[in-house]
Amino acid sequence: MTLLEKGSRPSASPRTGGSPDPTATVSIATRSKARARRRPSTLTIVVLVILTGLILVPVATVFYGAFQSGAPGLPTSRFSLDAVLSVYASPKYLLSLVGTLAMALVVAALSVLFGAIAAWLLARTNVLIRSVLEFGLILPLFISPFIGAVAWYMLGAPRSGIINVNLQWMLGLPEDSVIVNISTVPGVMFVELLYFLPYTYMLIASSLRNMDPSLEEASYLNGRGIVATALRVTLPVVRPSVTASFFMIAVFATGIFSIPAALGLDTGFSPLAVQVYRKMTVFPADQPGAAAIGTLLFWFTLLGIYFYRRSVRNSRRFVTMGGKATRPRMVKLGWWRWPITIVFLIYGLLAAVLPYLAMILLALQPFPITDFRQMQPSLDSFFSVFKDPAVTGALFNTLWIGLAAPTIAVVLGLAAAYVAVREKSRLSGVVDYISNFPMAVPGIVFATGIVWLYVRTPLYLTLALLIITLVATYMPQATRFAATGLMQIDGSLEEAARMSGASRLRALLTITTPLVRPALMSSWILLFIFSSREVNEAILVAGPHSQPLSVLAWNYMSDGTLNLTAVVGILMSLVMLAGLIVARLVFRVRLSSAQM
């Protein structure tokens, strides 16, 4: 359907005596299209205003803070280039930047490689116990990455980790033998890989499920084998989602501080996000320095977002929602089913079973004791946590956050995605970029911008501000999910509604929203999990009466009581699991790639 067909009437040409002039028609259509591009809709303006307040202003505040001598607002703070110069002109930080980016790119590449292989195996082969394996793949989502890292330090610390200590005496190995060392750069990358793999798997698997299997069928009919079809037909079709996953994970891995910090990594190199955290926690705190490092990371992650958007844009060419339901041919693995299933189980063991076991062991002892022969199991830690008056409040706060933040983020994400996908004004691109900005700034730095911005308002330290922060933080994911859903729906459905007299809002609410509902519900579930375990922003924004369980767990950890941290970690997993069960029973929504 063209603009002309939608209502533009072709003008009569004086030269042709009143008959429509095709050139003029094109010209009018082009001008009309250009005008349409220039004029942002009311929805675009409203979304832009909201996103500006929600995201752009805090990010701008971070930049402002980087040019101060102290935290903005303090009486002694004034304009200063010291922080920016000390970061941008320092070989220490520039080398750390190179190392951080290299680590992030390697982790992203490995996540995509393994995620794509897992997605293909689960979607296209007759692998054993498919549902169990898929659940095992996404199980690490229920563990907060920092708690998972604490658990892995207990498991894999070179001299005292559960694996090393117990295998030494069980196998009669020398006391100084190191089987696993998690406190190394490869160790940190391994743990990050365990926790990023579910994202790449889900994104690529959803793309695989949405592609037309008849393309692969045609390839098989033309005599191509399994590998050739996978590489020359399937891979090019899912390439946009592979590329998008790669840049998304690269951006995430650049900004994560909790895993390298919890694993005690300091081998002369510390990732920039860890440097940011240190700047915030030394005495006196160096917040301008932290903001300056955040701005340094911003430029590189912005580049990642550019490529991420490009790859997402390309996905429009490939992802279709067809009416024809063709079942893909399932590749028979033969005896390979067994080793492949075992590899999946090993992943589940490393990413979920062992960390949960470590958490349970930690929770059952007063201190992190790793030698099975010396353990002193008791339920005291559980009693201590449940006696803590802060726990009930934290539980309710977590539930409030888990309900409100994903709901608002999904609604706003749908509006932003609608503007980005359907609207043709120049501002649509701006809206799309701004909605992705929170990925470009490390969470702890973004939260600092929020605190600087809101410290003079009544929202400061309230649950409302924490929810606002999380909505802003998850806008990239909410927008991405809604956009994917929108791309699969032909815009002509809305146009038909509008031509029948419905307003744009009514068309959006009655036509588009029901059709993208599955994508929105999946988005909601994923954001519910993220919000329930979020700590990077929450540790700065939450107040004493608004702290969720994740912040309580962080506070226990920073107080040195790892046993209590583990108890709260287990409680958080139960809350997330309960949320999923409710979602499945009440809303019929499952957390699986099939619904994304």
Name the percent of the chain in helix, strand, coil, to the closest 5. Answer: 75, 0, 25
Provide the minimum distance between the beta carbon of 382 and other proteins in the complex, in angstroms, as a whole number.
Answer: 15
Contact present, 593 and 199 (Cβ < 8 Å): no
Closest distance to other proteins from the beta carbon of 408 (Å): 16
Among the listed residues 46, 167, 63, the one whose alpha carbon sits nearest the alpha carbon of residue 437: 63
Residue 567 token pair: 């108890």
Q: State the amino acid at position 331 in one-letter form.
A: V
Q: Which of 20, 73, 186, 339 binds other proteins (CB under 8 A)?
A: 73
Tell whether residue 157 is a contact of other proteins (CB under 8 A): yes
Q: Quick check: 266 binds other proteins (CB under 8 A)?
A: yes
Q: Give the 3-state secondary structure of residue 559.
A: coil
Least Å from the CB of residue 236 to other proteins: 42
Number of residues that bind other proteins (CB under 8 A): 65
Work out which of 2, 23, 131, 457 binds other proteins, going by CB under 8 A.
457
Q: Using CB under 8 A, which residues numbered 20 to 39 contact other proteins?
A: 39
Residue with Cβ nearer other proteins (117 or 285): 285
Q: Which amino acid is at 44?
A: T
Output 70 or 579, the one with its CB closest to other proteins.
70
* Site membership for other proteins, residue 78 (CB under 8 A): no
Q: Does 91 bind other proteins (CB under 8 A)?
A: no
Contact 249, 111 (CB under 8 A): yes
Residue 191 or 520: which CB sits closer to other proteins?
Answer: 191
Closest separation in Å from C-beta 194 to other proteins:
21
- Three-state DSSP string of 566-594: HHHHHHHHHHHHHHHHHHHHHHCCCCCHH
Positive or negative CA dihedral for 74, 77, 81, 85? negative
Other Cβ atoms within 10 Å of 198 Cβ, number: 24
Among 177, 281, 492, 503, binds other proteins (CB under 8 A): 281
Q: Binding to other proteins by residue 562, rule CB under 8 A?
A: yes
Which of 3, 4, 45, 105 is close enough to bind other proteins by CB under 8 A? 45
Whether omega before 284 lies within 30 degrees of 0, making that bond cis, reads yes
Q: x/- string (CB under 8 A) for other proteins, residues 503-542?
A: ----------------------------------------
Q: Decide: is 40 part of the binding site for other proteins (CB under 8 A).
A: yes
User: Are the C-beta atoms of 288 and 70 separated by less than 8 Å?
Assistant: yes
Q: Could you tell me if 126 and 333 are in contact, meaning their C-beta atoms sit under 8 angstroms apart?
A: yes
Nearer to other proteins, 23 or 42 (CB): 42
Q: Output b/e per residue, 225-234; b: 16+ Cβ within 10 A.
A: ebeebbeebb
The span of 137-145, 202-210, 336-344, 550-558 binding other proteins (CB under 8 A) equals: 550-558
Angle between helices 426-436 and 389-422 (to 10 degrees): 160
CA separation, residue 323 to residues 15, 212, 484, 489, 594 (Å): 47, 10, 17, 11, 16
Of the candidate residues 556, 568, 576, 583, the single one contacting other proteins (CB under 8 A): 556
Report the C-alpha gap between 521 and 513 in whole angstroms: 11
Between 326 and 376, CB nearer to other proteins = 376
Of 276, 319, 451, 511, which lies in the binding site for other proteins, with binding defined by CB under 8 A? Answer: 451
Q: How many CA atoms lie within 13 A of 320 on its CB side?
A: 12
375 contacts other proteins (rule: CB under 8 A): no
500 touching other proteins, by CB under 8 A: no
Query: Phi first, then psi: what are they for 265, rounded to 5°?
Result: -80, 120
Q: How far is the CB of 170 from other proteins (least distance, A)?
A: 17
Binding string, residues 93-122; x marks residues near other proteins by CB under 8 A: ---x--------------------------
Three-class secondary structure assignment of 290-314 = HHHHHHHHHHHHHHHHHHHHHHHHH
Binder to other proteins among 357, 460, 496, 594 (CB under 8 A)? 460
**Which letter does DSSP use for residue 441 in this model?**
S
- 456 sits near other proteins (criterion: CB under 8 A): yes
Shortest spacing between CB 505 and other proteins, in angstroms: 13
* Contact call for residues 534 and 552 (beta carbons, < 8 A): no
Chosen residue from 37, 278, 313, 590 binding other proteins by CB under 8 A:
278
Residues of the shown chain interacting with other proteins in the complex, contacts defined by CB under 8 A: 39-42, 45-46, 49, 53, 71, 73-75, 92, 96, 154, 157-161, 165, 183, 264, 266, 268-270, 275, 278, 280-285, 287, 366-371, 374, 376, 388, 451-452, 455-461, 543-545, 555-562
